Structure 1
Amino acid sequence: MQIETATHGDLLEVTPKGRLDSNSAPALEKVLLERIDAGQSKLTIDFGSVDYISSAGLRVLLMAAKRTGAAKGRFSMHSLSPEIREVFEISGFLTILKVYPDLNAALAAQ
C-alpha cells in the first residue's frame, strides 16, 4: 500500500492506495498517529484509490477519529467507492464518521 499526504490549509488529506487490511493497516496507523501526535487535528481520508478494507483498517480509522475528536479536531473521509461505502454501511461507520462525496465537500465542511 502506498500512502500519500497533502495539506489544504489546516486540513491534512491522507490518500491510501490499494488494500487496507491487516498487512497494511499498521502503516496507515503510523502515518495518522504521527500526524495527530504532532498537532494535526483536522484530517480527511481519500478513499478513491482503496479497493478493499478489512476490520483492521476500520479499527485504524476509528482510533484516528477518536484521537482527533479528543484534540477538538475533525476527522472525515471522502470519495468512497460503492464497495467501500457498503462496508462502512454494514459496519455502522457511516453513522459515526463524517463522509463526503469528494475533497471539495470535505474542505467546505471545515
Structure 2
Amino acid sequence: MEISSKKVGDVLVMAIKGRLDALTSSKLESKMCELINAGENKIVIDLGELEYISSAGLRAILFCAKKLKATEGDIAFANITGMISEVFEISGFGTMFNIYSSALTAAEKIS
C-alpha cells in the first residue's frame, strides 16, 4: 500500500493505492494519527486506486475517523468505485461518511 498526500486549501487529501488489509492497515492508522496530532483536522481520503479493502482496513478507517471527530475534524471519501464501493455499502460506511465523486469536490465540501 502506498499513501500520498497533498494540501488543497486547508484540506489534506490523502490518496491510498494498493491493498488496505490486515498487513497494511496499521500503516494507515499510524500515518493518520501522525497527521491528526500535527493539527490536520479536515481530511479527504481518495480511494480511486485502492484495489482491495478488508475488514481490518475498514476498522482502520473507523479508528481514524473517530480520532478525527474527537478533534472536531471532518473526513470525507472520494473516487470510490467497483468492489470498494460495494464493501462500503455492505458495511454501512456508505451512509456513515460523506462520499464524493472526486477529491476536489470533497475538499470543497468539507473546507
Into which bin does the TM-score normalised by the smaller protein fall?
A: over 0.9
2:88 match: 88
Relative contact order, higher structure (CA 8 A, sep 6+): 2
Is residue 38 of structure 1 aligned with residue 11 of structure 2?
no
3-state SS of 1:109 partner: helix
AA aligned to 2:89 is: E
1:108 deviates by 2.1
1:42 deviates by 0.5
RMSD value over aligned CA atoms?
0.9
2:59 match: 59
Q: Report the TM-score, using the length of structure 1 for normalisation.
A: 0.95
CA offsets, 1:49-87, max 9 Å, x none? 101000111011111111111111110110011210100
Q: How does 1:3-14 map to 2 (within 5 A)?
A: 3-14=3-14
AA aligned to 1:5 is: S
3-state SS of 1:23 partner: coil
3-state SS of 1:66 partner: helix
Conserved in 1, the CA contact under 8 Å of 2:78 and 2:103? Answer: yes
Alignment gaps of 5+ in structure 1? none
CA–CA distance in 2 between the matches of 1:105 and 1:12? 13
Count the aligned residue pairs: 110
Alignment gaps of 5+ in structure 2? none
3-state SS of 2:17 partner: strand
